[in-house]
């Protein structure tokens, strides 16, 4: 069964450093998403991406964040200058069609720890 994959599973970084989280969505999917979950809190939407542009983003997704689809298979989330409060699980998701008409499938997540 096709699945979303994410690398690395755990990333440790120093405050102020840049990190790139990588995702490989399901191969025929066209819509891509990032969510995050701070330990003990709810899963929160960050951004959705289609046709090489952001289609929706939350207030969390400020100028420190960016997303990119650098090739035909990868989808990345970059945090330019990490803060302690960026420590969280980051989940990538994809769907075949627009998010409101189709099911989003999630990857296993990347645990980001900012020291």
Which of the residues 20 through 79 are near other proteins (CB under 8 A)?
31, 33, 35, 37, 42-45, 48, 55-56, 58
The pair of structure tokens assigned to 41 is 């809190």
CB 33 within 8 A of CB 43: no
Q: Is 107 in the site for other proteins (CB under 8 A)?
A: yes
Beta-bridged to residue 16, according to DSSP, are none
Query: Which CB contacts under 8 angstroms, 24+ apart, belong to 99-104?
Result: 99/31, 99/33, 99/48, 102/31, 104/31, 104/33
Question: Nearest approach, Cβ of 53 to other proteins (angstroms)?
Answer: 13
Question: Nearest approach, Cβ of 51 to other proteins (angstroms)?
Answer: 13
Question: Nearest approach, Cβ of 15 to other proteins (angstroms)?
Answer: 22
Question: Nearest approach, Cβ of 38 to other proteins (angstroms)?
Answer: 11
For other proteins, the binding residues (CB under 8 A) are 4, 31, 33, 35, 37, 42-45, 48, 55-56, 58, 89, 91, 93, 98-101, 103-109, 111
């Amino acid at each position: 069964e096709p699945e979303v994959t994410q690398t690395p599973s755990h990333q440790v970084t120093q405050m102020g450093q840049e990190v790139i989280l990588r995702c490989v969505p399901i191969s025929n999917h066209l819509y891509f998403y990032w969510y995050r979950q701070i330990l003990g809190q709810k899963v929160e939407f960050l951004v959705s991406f289609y046709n090489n542009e952001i289609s929706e983003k939350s207030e969390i997704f400020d100028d420190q964040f960016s997303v990119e689809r650098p090739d035909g298979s990868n989808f990345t989330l970059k945090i330019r200058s990490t803060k302690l409060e960026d420590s969280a699980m980051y989940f990538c998701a994809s769907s075949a069609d627009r998010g409101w008409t189709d099911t989003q499938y999630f990857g296993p997540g990347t645990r980001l720890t900012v020291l």
